Structure formats: structure tokens, C-alpha cells
Amino acid sequence: MNREIFGFLVGLGAGAALGILLAPRSGEKTRALIREKANDGAAYMRQRGTEVRDAAGDVIRGSASKVIKNADALKSAVEAGKQAYSESLQS
């Protein structure tokens, strides 16, 4: 990991820890707030995960459809080539 990113993350964690420790709330209220924010974050991540999964499924389905369409076109082109070759041999 890049040293600057690592330093930033360590500083971020230290700042968050100090902010929690020095907050003017009681421990019970602070824990309730942390629990609420963690639940909100988890719900957000579940929602985004579902959206990403659905979007990826749409892309995969669209890509599969294009592959099938192109495979059919290639098959038709190969058959036309075979037919043209057969006809040229008979002439």
C-alpha cells in the first residue's frame, strides 16, 4: 500500500478515535450513535450491493445476447462462404 494512503488511513482512524473519546456525550449515547451509524452504513451497503448486482446482471444479459447474435451472424457467413465455394467448384 502506498505510504501516503497508509498515513492518511492511520490519521483518519486516530482522529475518529479521539473524536469519540473526547465527545461531550455519555458512553451509552455514543455507543447508540455508533450502532445507529453502523446499521445505516450496513443498510446502505446492502442497497448499493443489490444495485450493483442488478446492473451487472443487465450487462451480462446484454453481452450474452450480443454474443449469441454475433455467433448466429458468423454461422450464417460461414454457411454462405461454404455455399459459394461449393458453387465455384461446380462451375
Does this model's pTM top 0.75? My answer is: no
Q: What is the DSSP track for 4-37?
A: HHHHHHHHHHHHHHHHHHT-SS-HHHHHHHHHHH
Mean pLDDT of 29-46: 88
Model pLDDT, residue 46: 92
Average pLDDT, the chain: 84
* CB of 25 closer than 8 Å to CB of 33: yes
| Per-residue pLDDT tens digits for 10-28 | 888 888 888 777 777 777 8
Model pLDDT, residue 90: 82
User: How sure is the predictor about 51, in pLDDT bands with cuts at 50, 70 and 90?
Assistant: very high
C-alpha–C-alpha distance, residues 27 and 44, integer Å: 25
